[in-house]
Amino acid sequence: MKPRALDYVRARSIDHAIELLSTGADARVLAGGQSMMPAINMRLASPDVLIDIGRIDELRSIEVGSHLRIGAAVTQAEVAGHPDVLHRWPMLTAAIAQIGQPPIRNRGTVCGSLAHNDPQAELPAVAVALEAVVTSQSRRGTRSIPADEFFRGTFTTSLEDDEIVTAVDFPEPALGQGWAFQEFSQQPGDLATAGAAVVLNRREAAANRVVVFGVGVGPTRATLIEEAIRYTTDPSLDPQLVDRWGATLSPFDDAHASAHTKVQHAKQIVVRAVAEARGRMS
Amino acid sequence: MTELTSTTSSRRRILAPPASESTARHEIAVQINGEAIEAEVESRLLLTDFLRERLGLTGTHVGCEQGSCGACTVLLDDVPIRSCLLLAPQIDGRSIRTVEGLAERDGTPNKMQQAFCDHHGLQCGFCTPGLLITLTSLAEREVPVTLDELDHHLDSSICRCTGYMNIRNAARYALGLMPPRVEDRSGERDGP
């Protein structure tokens, strides 16, 4: 289908975008548009105004220092193709490789995926696993929102209506950290029926993170599993524990898999991802 | 299709049809297959429809309109993107290459197009423009392409004839990836 009649405004700066967003109209922010535009074409979304932030220079940069800062207009392909990202934040590169197909990643943005919070999307889970911090801005000022508090449920975040995401920061992974990103989908590029992002630390086991997605309301920490692996170096997980954890999940049936199948996939994926992350610890 | 054009300047100018609804219009200046074009477009006009309905460039196909099928893939500043997920006003100041812009000026097919002919790389032809765009962009980049990468890029277009083996053969040939000899490819053909 085609979009219904709407207005399109290209924001010149962050301030301009915020001003446009605070007028009270039914406006949505457009960055890469790889989730927004399908929704608009199918008329699942039909805002009165689209505010395009994709060409705001202030949002176009990737900054690499003690942490990685990705501006809201930076595409997934630009992040995955950045040599420092591959070297220091390899989980991001691995996760982006699973998003759609190359033309999708050439337009889709990292921050847009976070703000959209599709429960089957890769990057929200990565943001939680790597303890990213989302920066948002509105007329009322700037906020830094830790990933743990940012994702609130299916397609829902803690962003207010008048706020836009301007950047996301990924801290430097701890030395010797093991990581894994795994997902199961019917074919490459499809949405995941279950996936996991795992971070294991040698020194600070309390900072271990096992985050699953695709089996519920967005990125969810598997706290049962996190606690179980805290005091052990055994790469395999106790199957009874995994079953117990699986019973806590409540995904929906959809065209790709039944809820039961998704839980089975999630259990497999978590077992594999924890083993892989263990193997990468040094 | 009524194409409303005026040629008062050296640039071709495309006017929007009379309004049936109150919607903002935008003046855009773009390069389409090397030609400078100025146009008046409505906010909600998709790039696919701008190319097809306003410019008559119907080589860009419309399949799913949700970014999945790849039939509408075009090059935006030399990068493959889905034209069904872009609004026409978004391309102001940028350059677009469509399947009509792949051949040489004298009509000679580019390397990828020729390989599609030689290796029977199309059946019904619906997915072909998107594939030619994606694969041409691979062929034109400086870093060598691996077979894995090729397969990954083939995955970005849906061929409902399931003619992937011949498409893959054509692309391998054009990209210099272990070219199968034409007379030797019986083992890799689809079907009986």
Q: Return all residues near B105 (Cβ < 8 A) that are at least 6 apart.
A: none
| Dihedral over alpha carbons A257, A259, A264, A266 (to 10 degrees) | 90
Residue B106 lies in a domain: no
Burial class from Cβ neighbours inside 10 Å (0-12, 13-18, 19+) for residue B105 reads exposed
**Quick one: DSSP state of residue B90?**
G
On whether residue A276 sits in a domain, the answer given is yes
Domain identity same for A182 and A167: no
Q: At what angle do helices B128-140 and B164-175 cross, to 10 degrees?
A: 20
Task: Please enumerate in sequence order all residues whose Cβ is within 8 A of that of A272, keeping only pairs 6 or more positions apart, or say none.
Answer: A180, A182
Interior angle at CA B117, CA B188 and CA B185, nearest 5: 20
A92 and A166, same domain (yes or no):
yes
* Chain B residues with CB-CB distance to A189 below 8 A: 155-156
Q: How far apart are CA A44 and CA B36, in angstroms?
A: 35
How many domains does one find in chain B? Answer: 2
Q: How confident is the model at residue B7 (pLDDT cuts 50, 70, 90)?
A: low
Residue type, A249: L
One domain, residues A37 and A66: no
Q: Which of A1, A5, A10 sits opposite B65 (nearest CB)?
A: A1
Query: Residue B185 has which token pair?
Result: 């490819």
Count Cβ atoms below 10 Å from residue A43 Cβ, excluding itself: 11
Mean pLDDT in residue range A164-176: 95
Contact B155 A188 (CB under 8 A): yes
**The pLDDT of residue A120 is above 70:** yes
Chain B residues touching A38 at Cβ < 8 A: 65-67, 85
A-chain CB neighbours of B85 within 8 Å are: 33-34, 37-38, 41, 107
A5: closest CA of chain B, how far (Å): 6
What angle in degrees, to the nearest 10, is found between the helix axes of B128-140 and B147-154? 150
Q: In this complex, how many residue pairs, one in chain A and one in chain B, have their CB atoms less than 8 Å apart?
A: 92
Min Cα–Cα distance to chain A from B177, Å: 20
Q: Do A103 and B44 touch (CB under 8 A)?
A: no
> Rounded CA gap, A185 and A120, in Å?
10
Residue-level pLDDT at B142:
87
What are B24-61's pLDDT values in tens digits?
A: 899 999 999 999 999 999 999 999 999 999 999 999 99
* Residues above pLDDT 70, as percent of chain A: 100
A23 within 8 A of A16, measured Cβ to Cβ: no
Last residue of a domain, which of B101, B120, B137? B101
CB contacts of A3 in chain B (<8 Å) are 44, 46, 87
| B146 contact residues in A (CB cutoff 8 A) | none
Contacts of A213 (CB under 8 A, 6+ apart): A119, A120, A121, A122, A124, A125, A183, A192, A194, A195, A196, A197, A219, A220
Residue B5 has pLDDT above 70, yes or no: no
A chain contacts of residue B24, beta-carbon cutoff 8 Å: 7-9
Residue A114's domain spans which residues? 57-171
Are residues A242 and A261 located together in one domain of the fold? yes
What ipTM was predicted for this assembly?
0.92
DSSP assignments along B124-142, one per residue: S-SSHHHHHHHHHHHHHSS
CATH classification at residue A122: 3.30.465.10
Instruction: Please check whether residues B68 and B119 belong to one and the same domain.
Output: no
Report chain A's mean pLDDT, rounded to a whole number: 94
Using pLDDT thresholds of 50, 70 and 90, give the confidence band for residue A262: very high
Residue B19 in contact with partner chain A when CB distance is under 8 A: no
Report, as an integer, the average pLDDT of B103-111. 94
Domain range holding B96? Answer: 5-101
Q: Residue B8 — pLDDT band, cuts 50, 70, 90?
A: low
Interface of A with B in 70-99 (CB under 8 A): 77
User: Would you call A25 an interface residue with chain B, using a CB distance cutoff of 8 Å?
Assistant: no
From B49, B79, B101, the end of a domain falls on B101
Please report whether residue A253 resides in a domain. yes
**B85 touches A: beta carbon within 8 Å:** yes
Q: Return phi, psi of residue B6, to 5°.
A: -135, 140
Phi, psi of B71 (to 5 degrees): -65, -25
Residue A1, in any domain of the structure: no
Instruction: Tell me whether residues A102 and B44 touch, CB distance under 8 A.
Output: no
Indicate whether A100 and A20 sit together in one domain.
Answer: no
Domain count, chain A: 3
Question: Rounded to whole angstroms, how far apart are CA atoms B173 and B115?
Answer: 7
B155 contacts in chain A (CB < 8 Å):
101, 187-189
Q: What is chain B's percent helix, strand, coil content, to nearest 5?
A: 35, 20, 50
In whole angstroms, give the CA distance from residue A210 to residue A125: 9
Are B43 and A100 a contacting pair at CB < 8 A?
Answer: no
User: Would you give the end-to-end CA distance of chain B in angstroms?
Assistant: 43
Q: What's the rounded Cα separation, in Å, for the pair B63 and B69?
A: 6
Domain boundary among B83, B101, B119: B101
Task: Name the pLDDT band for B1 (thresholds 50, 70, 90).
Answer: very low
